[in-house]
Amino acid sequence: MKHKLYHNIVSCFIGLFILLNFSSCLKNDIPYPVIQLFVTDLKANGMMGNAIIANDDRTVTITLADTVNLKRVMVTKLSMTDGAQCSLKTPQEIDLTDPYGITLSLYQDYPWKIIGKQTIDRRFSVKGQVGSAEFNTNDKIAIVNVTDDTNLKNIEVKELKLGPTGSTINMSPDNPAIEWSIHGNYAKASVVVNYRDFIVMENWTLYVFQVKSTVNTRSVDAWVNVAWLYGDGKDGADNGFEYKEKDAATWSVLEPASVIHDGGSFVGRLSHLRAQTTYVCRAYSDNEKGQEFTFTTGTVVPLENASFDEWHQQGKVWNPWALNGLQMWDTGNEGATTLGESNTVPVNDIRPGAAVGSRAAKLESKFVGFGSVGKFAAGNLFAGKFLRTEGTNGVLEFGKSFNARPTKLRGYYKYTTASISHASSDYIQLKGKPDTCAIYIALGDWDKPVEIRTNPANSKYFDKNDSHIIAYSELYNGSTTNGYIPFELELDYRSKSRVPKYLIIVCSASKYGDYFTGGVGAILQVDDFVLEYDY
């Protein structure tokens, strides 16, 4: 009996020893899942427009009013991928004089940066000024030029603003009293700028230089059929431009109505030029002529398959380009057909006057799925490419390579609205209201196409306030049209010197379709788009 008990005890110890040794050899070889983490939205006090989120760079850029203290920016909201944690807890005050680092965490850490941008509108003008003021914000210097017959002992300041809106100069909210010292051909003065609690006793130096030449042809931005001319002259003089084709014998005067004046600086819009042609221009101020400036206009770049005649079908997916042809346009059909049929298709219902046998694009908003299982899918068409689906969500690529500068997008559209039947939580208040169609165009200097994601966990939508956008225009309509109607979108250029790299055009039967919000049965038909290159 004792022998058996001893044997059982020894067996237990041996078994325990083996178990402990075996367990010590066990390793957790199951890797953590890799989940990319994204900032999806950010709000801050004093913010202008929406945050610009660059997922590849992991940056969030916000533009702040000039009255915001960059050292004390209150972030009120930060949204991110579901389940992620962030080192920044809102509401929280941060310093954006330099990019502010944050970390998103879920299994892995992802560093991001918040970048604050702020533009202060500074102005400095005096009587008899030539051209516009120059500002050196690092050294706190402001410079203007005046004609050489200006009396430097009697400088008359017309406007002076060196700080944020509401700041003071020499403790005055208006033009302050300034003491000038004369140094040969220029006058110099020191002033002090104050604003609330974050600009205290900021010292600026003002310079007023006498110059002999009162006119300067500064630069030209040449497009295709239009060019923008920039000149400097004497404030209050007869300022403008002359131009001609390079080998022409006589000069023409740009009509005064096409010249915009800002003190001694002026900008002319020279229209109805010929493409790929060399011209010469010069500024004038009264009887004095500026130097000649030679420029060559660009080339008309057409919009491919803009009549929407070319289509091919692969399985259930209709594609808006010829088989083996050039792809300019794409749709969300690949996503819609995971649960249903294509909702953007070619139709023979064309606009009046279109070529016999041509086609148009029909974009219909539908609920795709089976019974109550499915998702709202807006009819859409865009310049770009459908990349893939993530579950029932789409990943798209907006934009096609393009470096011309058109002035308008024209075309025809027909719309049938429907009551909004489906709405995400952010747009639930729209349910039951008429749906709205959307057509918009953007030109920008992105380094690659703009990625769009509709998955709420890592969503990224097009933002018309994106700093990369050079020109933009949009059309929204929430009423049913009486057949096709023509439309014309005149591009609003935010910069006339920047050259585009990409063209984006988007059409949707439901304005908020990206957010799975819209009305089943809303139908937008589009036909015969064309880009124009002159005003």
* CATH code of domain 39-118: 2.60.40.2340
If phi > 0 it is left, if psi is from -120 to 50 it is alpha, else beta; for residue 143 that is beta
Tell me which architecture the domain covering 312-532 has in CATH.
Sandwich (2.60)
**Rounded-to-integer distance, Cα 517 and Cα 435, Å:** 9
Whose CA is closest to 207, among 135, 274, 273? 135
For residue 310, report the phi and psi dihedrals to the nearest 5 degrees: -100, 120
Q: Which CATH class is domain 216-296?
A: mainly beta
Q: pLDDT tens track of the chain, all 535 residues?
A: 444 433 443 344 444 344 444 444 445 566 677 788 999 899 999 999 889 888 888 999 999 999 999 999 999 999 998 899 999 999 999 999 999 999 999 999 999 999 999 999 999 999 989 999 999 999 999 999 999 989 999 999 999 999 999 999 999 998 899 999 999 999 999 999 999 989 999 999 999 999 998 999 999 999 999 999 999 999 989 999 999 999 999 999 999 999 999 989 999 999 999 999 999 999 999 999 999 999 999 999 999 999 999 999 999 999 999 999 999 999 988 888 777 788 999 999 999 999 888 999 999 999 887 666 678 899 999 999 999 887 778 889 999 999 999 999 999 999 999 999 999 888 999 999 999 999 999 999 999 999 988 887 777 888 888 889 999 999 999 999 999 999 999 999 999 999 999 999 999 999 999 888 999 999 999 999 999 998 6
Whether the Cβ atoms of residue 214 and residue 147 lie closer than 8 Å to each other = yes
DSSP assigned state of 490: E
Q: Which residues contact 320 (CB under 8 A, 6 or more apart)?
A: 305, 308, 310, 311, 328, 329, 330, 331, 344, 346, 361, 381
Q: Helix, strand or coil for residue 15? A: helix
Whether the Cβ atoms of residue 525 and residue 349 lie closer than 8 Å to each other = yes
Whose CA is closest to 518, among 396, 416, 427, 413? 427
**Rounded-to-integer distance, Cα 97 and Cα 78, Å:** 19
Could you tell me the residue ranges of all domains in the chain? 39-118, 123-211, 216-296, 312-532
The per-residue pLDDT for 156 is: 94
The per-residue pLDDT for 453 is: 86
Burial 90-109 (b: 16+ CB within 10 A, else e): eeeebebeeebebebebeee
Whether the Cβ atoms of residue 369 and residue 392 lie closer than 8 Å to each other = no
**Rounded-to-integer distance, Cα 380 and Cα 364, Å:** 8
Residue type present at position 82: D
Whether the Cβ atoms of residue 423 and residue 517 lie closer than 8 Å to each other = yes
For the chain, the first-to-last Cα distance in angstroms comes to 110
Strands across the sheet containing 92-94: 39-44, 73-80, 92-94
* R_g over Cα of the chain: 32
Whether the Cβ atoms of residue 387 and residue 530 lie closer than 8 Å to each other = no
> Which H/E stretch holds residue 335?
helix 333-336
Two domains, one topology: 39-118 and 312-532? no
